[in-house]
Amino acid sequence: MSKLNIDGIGMTSQRARDRLIDVLMQKGIKDKEVLRVLRKLPRHLFMDEALASRSYENTALPIGHGQTISQPYIVARMTELLIEKGTPTKVLEVGTGSGYQAATLGALVKELHTVEIIEPLYRSSRDLLYSLGFRNIRTHLSDGSWGWKANAPYDAIIVTAAPNEIPSTLLDQLAINGRMVIPVGKQKGAQSLQVITRESTDSFKTEEHEAVQFVPLV
């Protein structure tokens, strides 16, 4: 497991982040590594300065282009589910957005590939992740519903926008014993957080977790 040293970055809002961590623990987040990373990660840098005063509230916020930075609880929960059975080495994220989820994973795993479809978001998250010192995160501008085949298979895949149904190309890019964390369901209907485990070439196990609300996977 590679360890980017994120101690010491973004110290300015440490008290606000400590309060956020208390909220996440109250809401049931238990993974110590996830809490350690989120306690350090400067979420205020992943959004517009005009909204930065709200950056340590446990809420999703707009990042432009009709998209949102995920709620911290959801980032924590999806990360916790992804690493629950052991920390994966090579991970694919679909939907880079602000880059906050990518940074969380980048601090925990050896190699992260993340794919974004909206060019300005791809550019700004790429530049921010680089300036924060991440060298193990590869950003790609592409339609992530096709995954990122060049580096497949992945030990884990995380999707941060919701499809109606899980794209089979993503399932194909999951390694045997790999895990995928993905919100599934219609926009106006109920979406649920699902964890898919690939048990063999053509057998997948699905667990359904809590109800969630994500922007659509386009």
Is 42 an interacting residue with respect to ligand SAH (CB under 6 A)?
no
Q: What CA–CA distance (Å, rounded) separates 68 from 77?
A: 17
Of the candidates 181, 180, 193, the one whose C-alpha atom is nearest the C-alpha of residue 154 is 180
Closest residue to ligand SAH, Cβ-based? 97
- Exactly one of 160, 173, 191, 194 binds ligand SAH (CB under 6 A); that residue is 160
Q: What CA–CA distance (Å, rounded) separates 212 from 216?
A: 12
Structure tokens at 102: 């990518």
Contact 183, 214 (CB under 8 A): yes
Q: What CA–CA distance (Å, rounded) separates 40 from 33?
A: 11
Given 2, 13, 55, 70, the catalytic residue: 70
Smallest gap from residue 71 Cβ to ligand SAH (A): 10
Q: What CA–CA distance (Å, rounded) separates 116 from 140?
A: 6
Q: What is the total count of residues that contact ligand SAH (CB under 6 A)?
A: 23
| Per-residue binder mask for ligand SAH (CB under 6 A), 112-131, x = binder | ---xxxx--x----------
Q: Which is nearer to ligand SAH, 144 or 203 (CB)?
A: 144
| Per-residue binder mask for ligand SAH (CB under 6 A), 82-101, x = binder | ------------xx-xx-xx
Known catalytic membership, residue 145: no
Exposure letters 76-97 (e unless 16+ CB within 10 A, then b): bbbbbbbbeeebbebbbbbbbb
Q: Which is nearer to ligand SAH, 34 or 205 (CB)?
A: 34
Smallest gap from residue 97 Cβ to ligand SAH (A): 2
Structure tokens at 124: 């700004």
Q: What CA–CA distance (Å, rounded) separates 60 from 99?
A: 13
Smallest gap from residue 63 Cβ to ligand SAH (A): 6
Q: Which is nearer to ligand SAH, 62 or 86 (CB)?
A: 62
State the residues that interact with ligand SAH by CB under 6 A.
Answer: 67-70, 94-95, 97-98, 100-101, 115-118, 121, 143-145, 160-161, 215, 217-218
State the catalytic residues: 70
